Chains A and B, each alone.
Chain A
Amino acid sequence: MSAEHPDHVGLLRGELTNAEVLELGGHLEACDECRDELVALVTGHGLLAATMRALRPREPMETPWVPPLTVTPARPRWRRPAVLVAAAALVVAGAAVIPLVEGGSEGSTPTARRTAALAPVDGSARGRVVMTEGAGAVRMTITTRDLPRAARGDYYYAWLFEPATDKMLALGVVDPDGVTAFEVARDLVERYHALDVSLESDDGDPGHSITSVLRANYTPEASKPPSATK
């Protein structure tokens, strides 16, 4: 920022340092011309900022992991309070999983969602994967942020990853600017414990490039971040 040409757009858009904001604020108190200039900008900025917020892609909601209800027990009415009390006691005790196992099953197939944060392996990008249980399949919705633009011929690719064996299963190309979803058979998802996003080159090699940029554990019991390939 210079005294002759204060950066009003930078001020409105939050691009200035604290020191620059304070300096410009002090300048505005004494300069009618700059205040008029700022007022002239405010309408356009307000319209653009609201539009930007409306059009920004929706991020999947941060949802805590909830174990799927696998059994709907048929039990006598008089037992229900006791089961609820037991479940409540488990919650109070901080139990992550509440077992609901009794009698025969009935009812429809349950659905559940879980979310895991994609942490940077290399770089400063971030994101999350939302996993939605369907009939025999899991929909894995990957949202990424701040992935650097890939060079010409390069692209981002998603893999299922098993940290214990370094085994990988290719899922597909990831859109660096938004949301990508894959439907994956549940038994396949259960054979792996992490999701990996790598930077790949269009070089004819179908294997992992070893340049991982994001990774997430998606199993609740795997609390430690998996080791990086790179």
Chain B
Amino acid sequence: MDFAADVVGQSIGLRLAHRDETALQDAYERYAPVVLAYVTGFVGRDEAEDVLQRTFLDVWRSAARYDPAQRFTGWLFTIAHRRAVDTLRARRHVVVDMDLARDLVGDDGRETVNRFADAADVRWAVARLPEHERTVLELAYFRELTQREIAVRLDVPLGTVKARASRGTRRLGQIMRASDEAAR
């Protein structure tokens, strides 16, 4: 996905640069769950929340340096990446996991940042869906339930789940396309 899709993120970045405190809250609400998932993969659950807080503190402190020509989520996850690396370096007994090292540095590290930046944008779009469609898609994709399992979980007919999944999936694509076109 092109970084132009991040038009809402760019707007948040500009507001942050103008020291708008509500923009920090908006950024946290929109991106914190994905940033938390990203840093947890590197530092583990115990330290992830601390890294999350330090990431957003850094976002606020360095907002003046945000370049609106840059994808906001890419900038945000680069900061999260740095704070995760700081945390790993601070550990006294570091056991090097080669998968982790590959995900943190070089081309793979940048690729990982971009993947999570993309994921943050999709999560934002999912949050824009009508609740009944959002619930079905979240259970399907983020809880990895089948449509039949979702029907049991929600106590609704299987046909209803299929219809909501289909409409929600189509609508999600439309939201992302509209966001992309608005930024061009």
Contacts and interface: CB of A to CB of B under 8 A. Distances in A.
Interface stretch (B24-32, B58-66, B82-90, B92-100): B92-100
B147 A132 contact: no
A113 B142 contact: no
Name the interface size band of chain B: 35 or more
Given A113-B95, A134-B93, A181-B44, A52 B142 contact: yes
B93 A55 contact: no
Given A179-B45, A181-B44, A41 B119 contact: no
B122 A47 contact: yes
B81 to A, nearest CB: 14
Contacts of B172: 43-44, 47-48
A50 B115 contact: yes
Interface string A31-49: 0000001001111110111
A51 B118 contact: yes
A7 interface: yes
B110 to A, nearest CB: 14
A166 interface: no
B173 interface: yes
A100 B95 CA distance: 21
Interface in A93-139: 111, 113, 132, 134-135
A106 B93 CA distance: 18
A52 to B, nearest CB: 5
Contact of A51 (B41, B141, B148): B141
A211 to B, nearest CB: 24
Given A13-B140, A43-B173, A111-B95, A51 B166 contact: no
B119 A55 contact: yes
The B contact surface, by secondary structure, is helix
Contacts of A15: 146-148
A9 interface: yes
A61 B103 CA distance: 13
Contacts of A53: 115
A48 B44 contact: no
Interface in A54-71: 54-55, 57-58, 60-61
Nearest to A40: B170
Contacts of A134: 93
Contacts of B21: none
B177 A51 contact: no
26 contacts: A8-B166, A9-B147, A9-B169, A10-B146, A10-B147, A13-B147, A15-B146, A15-B148, A41-B166, A43-B172, A43-B173, A43-B177, A44-B171, A44-B172, A47-B172, A48-B122, A48-B140, A51-B122, A51-B141, A54-B37, A55-B34, A55-B37, A57-B37, A57-B40, A58-B99, A61-B99
5 nearest interchain CB pairs? Answer: A43-B173, A44-B169, A44-B173, A44-B172, A54-B119
Interface of A: 5, 7-10, 13, 15, 37, 40-45, 47-55, 57-58, 60-61, 111, 113, 132, 134-135, 178-179, 181
